[in-house]
Amino acid sequence: MLLLGKKVAIIGGGPGGLTLARLLQQSGATVHVYERDASCHERVQGGTLDLHHDSGLAALRQAGLLDAFRAAYRPGADHMRLTDQHATIVHDDHTESQTATFGDVHFRPEIDRGPLRDLLLDSLQPDTVVWDRQFAAMQPAGPAWEITFRNGTSATADLVIGADGANSKIRPFVTPIRPFYSGVMIVEGIVPNAAQQAPRVSQLLQGGKLFALGDEKTLVVSAKGDGSLNFYLGFKAPETWAQTSGLSFQDAAQLKAWFRQAFAGWASLWEELFATEPAACVSRPQYCMPLTQTWPAQPNLTLLGDAAHVMPPYAGEGVNMAMLDALELSNCLTSPQFLDLQAAITHYEQHMRQRASAVAQDTMEQTAVLHSQGGLAYLVGLFRGDVLHE
């Protein structure tokens, strides 16, 4: 095996990095995941994720974790309601017979990020994840790499994989190509104890997901298993909007006043999203990597997930792409068909970029249409099968 006697360092302990660690350990590789968080309990994990048959679920199948996933996912959380800005329901999965299940290519079961991370962590060998290791620098050490972390510690590895997300610190060692701004800004927030804090929105959710569209704006809300809800407000804005808006994203009253002005004409029930003081919100400008990006493969360094191909979330492909990257990269690194690591990485990166480019193009098209006057009609047609979508 190409990795025999070699040390693999995965920078970033998200779903993509942890999936890769599990898959490589199944083949006997020596792997460590270096994660900036002090522990697995440091940060509240974000919203829910829907895993797809041929990507996220395929990775879990090969990792031997499908039974663990079945025990952790939330049946019914994939049920979607579509509304206009007045909260008028125009499409409702809850009223339709749901027959899809595991093995069906159209089944997209939902799981909260926290439980997904936990089941992946539990699958790894003890001490695989090294916590409190925020990347600081990296330099060649012969054919290997010496990695330095913010806490003053260091590590060496024969192969480094950047799985450290959209703001990857590893990516510049691979390519100088930078993402471009999509034109859409997201304000993300969490409402704890949603049944009490946001009762009308919570009732509308029915434990599932909700898309509200109107006036070239979007609102995506997801119920979580811990009783909270996660939401994304999407709107067209300059890239520097967060810095120039003057908003404090922890000031609920200020955010509610902003919402009333920026989303004028939207139903008052949406203001419940800013009922918690202090608010738990953050601004997220949405970026996408150039669809034609390419770079020469290296023998000891590569990328996966958002570090390689960040894009807006509106096609629901982010975590699935990262987990499929992990599956394909592990297959290449453990395949006997490649003579050396550079050949394996070359094959992986060529296919990964081609696949990501196609998804990014589709994602950018969807992002544009959802933030247009015809966004709601398009999405209703998509759910009813009137709009063709691969």
Q: Which of 12-26, 93-107, 254-268, 335-349 bottoms out in mean pLDDT, i.e. has the lowest?
A: 93-107
Q: How confident is the model at residue 9 (pLDDT cuts 50, 70, 90)?
A: very high
CATH architecture of 7-68+113-178+290-370: 3-Layer(bba) Sandwich (3.50)
* Mean predicted confidence (pLDDT) in 194-200: 96
Residues sharing a CB contact under 8 Å with residue 79, sequence separation 6 or more, in sequence order: 93, 94, 98, 206, 207, 208, 209
- Here the tokens at position 134 are 């925020």
Looking at CATH, the fold of the domain delimited by 180-288 is given as: D-Amino Acid Oxidase; Chain A, domain 2 (3.30.9)
* Mean predicted confidence (pLDDT) in 122-130: 97
Query: How far apart are the C-alpha atoms of 155 and 79, rounded to whole Å?
Result: 45
Query: How far apart are the C-alpha atoms of 322 and 329, rounded to whole Å?
Result: 10
Query: How far apart are the C-alpha atoms of 107 and 180, rounded to whole Å?
Result: 32
Residue ranges of the annotated binding site for FAD are 50, 113, 306
Query: How far apart are the C-alpha atoms of 300 and 130, rounded to whole Å?
Result: 20
DSSP 81-120: EEEETT--EEEEGGGS-----TT-TT---EEEHHHHHHHH
The predicted pLDDT at position 385 comes to 75
The predicted pLDDT at position 390 comes to 45
pLDDT at 389 over 70: no
* Mean predicted confidence (pLDDT) in 3-27: 97
pLDDT digits (tens, 9 = 90+) for 281-334: 999 999 999 999 999 999 999 999 999 999 999 877 889 999 999 999 999 999
The pTM score is 0.94
Q: How confident is the model at residue 99 (pLDDT cuts 50, 70, 90)?
A: low
Residue ranges of the annotated binding site for NADPH are 43
pLDDT at 89 over 90: yes
pLDDT at 47 over 90: no
* Mean predicted confidence (pLDDT) in 129-148: 97
If one counts every other C-beta atom within 10 angstroms of the C-beta of residue 203, the result is 11
pLDDT at 97 over 70: no
pLDDT digits (tens, 9 = 90+) for 325-342: 999 999 999 999 999 999
- The CATH 3.50.50.60 portion of the chain extends over 7-68+113-178+290-370
Query: How far apart are the C-alpha atoms of 4 and 341, rounded to whole Å?
Result: 11
The predicted pLDDT at position 101 comes to 80
> Could you tell me what percent of the chain has a pLDDT over 90?
87
Q: How confident is the model at residue 231 (pLDDT cuts 50, 70, 90)?
A: very high
pLDDT at 384 over 70: yes
Report which of 269, 140, 108 is spatially closest to residue 203, judged by C-alpha positions: 269
Question: Mean pLDDT, the chain, as a whole number?
Answer: 94
Cα Rg of the chain (Å, integer) = 21
pLDDT at 40 over 90: no
pLDDT digits (tens, 9 = 90+) for 253-286: 999 999 999 999 999 999 999 988 999 899 999 9
Q: Which of 50-64, 90-104, 284-298, 364-378 bottoms out in mean pLDDT, i.e. has the lowest?
A: 90-104
pLDDT at 98 over 80: no
Residue ranges of the annotated binding site are 43, 50, 113, 306
The predicted pLDDT at position 43 comes to 62
> Could you tell me what percent of the chain has a pLDDT over 70?
97
The predicted pLDDT at position 383 comes to 84
- The CATH 3.30.9.30 portion of the chain extends over 180-288
pLDDT at 102 over 70: yes
